[in-house]
Amino acid sequence: MDPHQYEECGSQVRYLPQQRGLHNSSVMVADLLAHTNYTFEVEAINGVSDLATLLRQSVSLNVTTNQAAPSPISVVRKGKTGKNSITVSWQEPDRPNGIILEYEIKYFEKDQETSYTIIKSKETEVIADGLKPSSVYIFQIRARTSAGYGGFSRRFEFETSPYLAASSDQSQVPIIAVSIIVGVILLALVTGFLLSGRRCGYSKAKQDPEEEKMHFHNGHIKFSGVRTYIDPHTYEDPNQAVHEFAKEIDVSSITIERVIGAGEFGEVCSGPLKLPGKREILVAIKTLKAGYTEKQRREFLGEASIMGQFDHPNIIHLEGVVTKSK
């Protein structure tokens, strides 16, 4: 036998009663690895065997140990994440102890261990769906051979995306991703008039003659005897302008339910807005699309600043903006 084709068993293997100097024709070998090929060499020796090294003979015995339950899985990773799903992958156990027939994935919402879900898979990746947004889930995985299941891995905690976050595999960056790069969501309460047009983004209702007399002077729009409307372009920083006229809203207060159109800067959607201490209302949600230019960003913020200065029951009411993410 070529000595390079095998390794010595090592000190972890035990021979009962002993490895050498046996007087009986049997020995027990313990603590072998499961599902592993072993070669045993047996030789009879006497007092002159050491003098005849070239003529010494032995017999070889090849043995394959049975399969056993695999060792626990030690490496588990989170992949693509959505508001209702998490992709989880893992590595094969360090000691498979046989042919892996399948994996069992157990997961449950954190602190809700009595209500869990089991998924079985022959692959080393699964998608857990039907999850709650912005929630932490506990995952444990174990492998099975013909000898049975191994122990579960340690607990791994993974969190789903927030309500407005999109799955990480989507090619277009939507609301929450846009927010991270200082995008803005414009929330306008629908009062019977749809948002339209390119610049100001509203359909003007019938007004009395006094309301239609608007005067623009030194960057300000003046309504006779009512109030002054400020041109946001007079601000050097558009972020300062938008926060001057619009309230910042937490992203968790908004849920996008459907797309109702497309605007100059991105999609126009609709969904409920639930602010603390207030009843839930339906709003239109205007978004800034991915890949915008600096000019588009400034115009988008400028439009928000203009809309923030209107508060008319027949025109529009801006609920607020989202420029921050958690």
Q: Where is the binding site for ATP, in residues?
A: 286
Q: Sort strands 14-16 and 28-30 into parallel, antiparallel or unpaired.
A: antiparallel
Contact 231, 308 (CB under 8 A): no
Residue among 79, 148, 143 nearest 106 (CA): 143
**Paired residues of 312 in beta bridges:** 316
Contact 284, 188 (CB under 8 A): yes
User: Which residues define the annotated binding site?
Assistant: 286
Contact 34, 68 (CB under 8 A): yes
**Token pair of 248 as six digits:** 């910042």
Cα dist from 168 to 78, 130, 222, 316, 325, whole Å:
11, 17, 46, 34, 16
CA distance 100 to 44: 40
Q: At what angle do helices 294-307 and 238-245 cross, to 10 degrees?
A: 20
Secondary structure letter of residue 32 according to DSSP: P
**Token pair of 285 as six digits:** 């949600």
H/E element, 178: helix 175-180
CA distance 8 to 3: 9
CA distance 64 to 217: 93
For the chain, how are helix, strand and coil distributed in percent, rounded to 5? 15, 35, 55
Sheet holding 220-223, edge to edge: 214-217, 220-223, 228-230
